[in-house]
Amino acid sequence: MSLPIQAEKVGTLPYSALASPETNKKRGFRRLMLCIGILIVVHAFTSIDCCKEYLRSIYRKRENEQLCSQYDVLIPDNPLWKTVGDSIGTEEFKGRAVDWLSGAIRVPTESYDDLGPISEDPRWQTFGQFHDYLTKAFPLVHSTLSLTKINNYSLLYQWTGTDSSLKPVLLAAHQDVVPVEPRTATEWSYPPYSGHFDGTRIWGRGASDDKSGLIGLLSAIEILLEGGFEPERTFVLAFGCDEEASGHFGAQQLAKAMLEIYGRNGFAFIVDEGGDISEHYGTVFAAPGVAEKGYLDLRVDVTSPGGHSSIPPTHTSIGILSRLLVEFENNPFPVEMSTNSVFYGTLQCYAGYGKTIPSNLRKAIVRSAYSKKALKRLSDMLFMNPANVALVGTTRAIDLIQGGVKSNALPEQAYAVVNHRVSTLSSVAEVIERDTDTLKALAGTFNLTFISFGETISDAEAPRAYGSLIFSDAFNNSLAPAPVTPTSGSKARAYELLSGTIQATYNAHRGLEHDSHNIVVAPAMPAGNTDTRYYWDLSDGQILRYNHRNSIAFKNMASGVHTVDENLPIDALLEMIRFFTTLILNTSESRRV
């Protein structure tokens, strides 16, 4: 007896197995033709220039975001932002801004490396005059904010917010300027402390570094107060008096006072002077400083027997010192590109958004992320420029030298000071060790007892040693490299807020669409140190060195920072004021920092 076929089991067979050979052949042909058709369409699409360009743009955009991700534009949710912004664009406000900065420049708050204690050195007294000026220039600031003077001449303001649960934010600047060299005073286009305004630029010492930052900040607060603004978050302003002379009397004392008042990590984040706006490879970049190099002033002392110069030895102490210094210059610190360096992050942004970046440089940057060979090639390309070497590696500069007292007397002692800027990937201890190793052999050649920071390195027998070589910290102000501020991830909220603020400011100042991306924000590292060297304990690694100075506005004219003809375009000052108003409004209403 035959059993019926079970349909469900037949249905489990492959479809092609149930069809005739002829049917299967037709279906196979149709599939082949479909595949060929798809290939023809894809080839045609990718062969058309506009289509190829479209595909490239999509790929490039994704690659750019991977290289250098950008945060959203952050526009304050406060109608006062537009009101204040419109005011900044008026001729009346422009006149006020000129007067504010010009008046500040006219008070010569010079700081010197050899300044004595504040209670003893009369050169400090000019800062009292500057404080009197600020009180008159910004009446609402001084009637609303509390002010404490630290160590007589450093200023600590508090603008108390309405919500005490929010961590305060520290905004910093410095009052002092580098001295004007008397011999160069006549070389200035306008007297260095005139604060002259020529219709476009404000001239004078401090116009750019850093009275514009201090005045820009106070101006922003003054006009916000005029608009009736009350912050939800507390803002603290710290203005040191000797940043240009390492900050011992100013920022160091401010740090101690703030640590006592606000506690360790008491601030959500810190903003001080630093990176600016500039153009690279056809693209406008903002460069907030997220790290600082370390610092060491190495004093190199050489001693040898004195006597009459008519009977000279083969080498005097000055001759020996000179040879030792040449050895330093002949053996610079090795420099190597690292994907962990801040400069590498800057390069990634150049590769991601530089419109005119050379293709070979862009290719090397992109490939260097996963290829040591490409990283080496990138190093070879970039380190032909000494400025790039200085950004990445540890540097030495022989800046001071002294020796001898009489032309016919052998110098018994000579010394030099060698300034080091320590790579963020190194340490002060590593620098001392390398310096010691560099001169160890020469110390033996000259029969010198070599003592490096209290440790005897080569101990020639005292009666037989010709002299000595001693390493020490010249001014006791060595500094480790600063902690690097996060720029991505959950700890990058301060950087995110700053990035959004920069973009909003840039767009508003130029009348561009508020939410469009017209400036690229790239992490960077300033060449020098700021007062934040003393503020590390005040914030959990959230230090941003940026005051929105638009370097492009100089239009090929030097800013004159630390030299002749220091100046600042008035439009750059107005944009700085707009930046600080935007930063304060955004920070006050933010709950993410």
Q: Give the pLDDT score at 458.
A: 82
- pLDDT of 459 reads 67
Q: What was the pLDDT predicted at 5?
A: 35
54 found inside a domain: no
In a domain, 310, yes or no: yes
**8 Å CB contact between 171 and 271:** yes
Q: List Cβ neighbours of 190 (8 Å cut-off, separation of 6 or more).
A: 196, 198, 203, 204
- Decide the pairing of beta strands 154-159 and 146-150: antiparallel
Decide if 10 is inside a domain: no
* Element at 365 (helix H, strand E): helix 359-368
Do 202 and 329 fall into the same domain?
no
Query: Is the domain of 278 the same as that of 299?
Result: no
CATH of the domain at 193: 3.40.630.10
In this predicted model, what pLDDT tens digit does every residue of 56-112 receive, in sequence order?
A: 555 456 667 789 999 999 999 999 999 999 999 999 999 999 999 999 999 999 999
Which DSSP string corresponds to 211-244?
Answer: HHHHHHHHHHHHHHHHTT---SS-EEEEEES-GG
Indicate whether 417 and 552 sit together in one domain.
Answer: no
Q: Which of 435, 454, 473 is the last residue of a domain?
A: 473
Q: Are residues 264 and 317 in the same domain?
A: no
Does residue 172 share a domain with residue 271? yes
Please check whether residues 456 and 418 belong to one and the same domain: yes
Q: How many residues does the chain have?
A: 593
**pLDDT computed for residue 9 by the predictor:** 37
326 and 350 share one domain: yes
Task: Tell me: do 440 and 545 sit in the same domain.
Answer: no
**Over the stretch 271-320, which tens digit does the pLDDT of each residue have?**
999 989 999 999 999 999 999 999 999 999 999 999 999 999 999 999 99
CB 387, CB 524: distance < 8 Å = no
pTM of the model: 0.87
243 in catalytic set? yes
Domain count, the chain: 2
Residue 522 in domain: no
The rounded distance, in Å, linking the Cα atoms of 477 and 210 is 22
Residue whose tokens read 């961590």: 167
- Verify that 243 and 350 share a domain, yes or no: no
Residue found by looking up tokens 């720029």 in the block: 487
Residue 368's domain spans which residues? 294-473
Domain boundary among 473, 508, 543: 473
Residues 350 and 461 reside in one and the same domain: yes
pLDDT at 4: 38
Name the active-site residue from 110, 176, 273, 276. 176
Q: Is 308 annotated in some ligand binding site?
A: no
* pLDDT of 390: 92
Do the domain assignments include residue 60? Answer: no
Residue at a domain's end among 473, 505, 537: 473
Are 188 and 301 contained in the same domain? no
Sorted by sequence, the CB contacts under 8 Å of residue 110 that are 6+ apart come out as: 123, 126, 176, 177, 178, 179, 180, 205
Asked if residue 276 belongs to a known ligand binding site, the reply is no
Is 520 inside a domain boundary? no
The catalytically annotated residue of 210, 242, 243, 276 is: 243
Query: For residue 433, is it within any domain?
Result: yes
Please, which residues have CB within 8 angstroms of residue 441's CB and are 6 or more apart in sequence? none
Domain contains 514: no
Residues of the chain with pLDDT under 70: 1-26, 28, 41-63, 459-463
Residue 459: give its domain's CATH number.
Answer: 3.30.70.360
174 is in an annotated binding site: yes
Q: Are residues 231 and 339 in the same domain?
A: no
